[in-house]
């Protein structure tokens, strides 16, 4: 007789139905755990990709300000006395809508501080 096998009353060797069911359940649980782990690992990668796209979009907005605006001559035609940030318009990349906004603050030394915020929805 081989290890791990049983002999039934007819003298045949093999696994019992209970052993087969237990092995199948153990295999199913292991497979479910592996698939859950793979799915959980992919979600942060997708979120990270969205954050990277938003960071590049913010950099482009700041580069446009840096290259095309003279802080000493610039007055904001869209100035909002309530202090609400300015929306530049939605941008859709890979089916995700990104909304860039900016807010300009006068600094004590006469320069301007530009804060850019990128928000997105899936």
Q: Is residue 94 part of a domain?
A: yes
Q: How many domains does the chain have?
A: 1
Closest CA to 103 of 119, 91, 87: 87
Q: Give the pLDDT confidence of 10-41 residue by residue, as tens digits.
A: 666 777 888 899 999 999 999 999 998 888 77
Q: Output the pLDDT for position 26.
A: 95
Average pLDDT over residues 96-110: 84
Residue 4 has pLDDT above 90, yes or no: no
Domain span including residue 96 = 15-121
Q: Output the pLDDT for position 122.
A: 72
Q: Is residue 4 part of a domain?
A: no
Q: What is the pTM of this model?
A: 0.52
With the C-alpha atoms ordered 26, 28, 34, 39, is the resulting torsion angle positive or negative?
negative
* Contact assessment for residue 100 and residue 57, using Cβ atoms and an 8 Å cutoff: yes
Q: Is residue 1 part of a domain?
A: no
Average pLDDT over residues 84-106: 81
With the C-alpha atoms ordered 35, 41, 45, 51, is the resulting torsion angle positive or negative?
positive
Q: Output the pLDDT for position 1.
A: 53
Q: Is residue 6 part of a domain?
A: no
């Amino acid at each position: 007789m081989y290890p791990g096998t049983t002999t039934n009353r007819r003298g045949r060797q093999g696994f019992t139905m209970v052993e087969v069911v237990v092995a199948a359940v153990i295999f199913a649980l292991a497979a479910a755990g592996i698939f859950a782990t793979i799915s959980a690992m992919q979600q942060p990668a997708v979120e990270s990709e969205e954050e990277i796209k938003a960071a590049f979009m913010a950099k482009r907005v700041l580069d446009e300000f840096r290259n095309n605006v003279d802080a000493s001559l610039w007055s904001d035609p869209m100035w909002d006395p309530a202090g609400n940030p300015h929306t530049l318009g939605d941008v859709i990349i890979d089916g995700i809508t990104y909304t860039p906004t900016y807010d300009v603050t006068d600094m004590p030394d006469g320069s301007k501080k530009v804060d850019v915020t990128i928000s997105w929805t899936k």
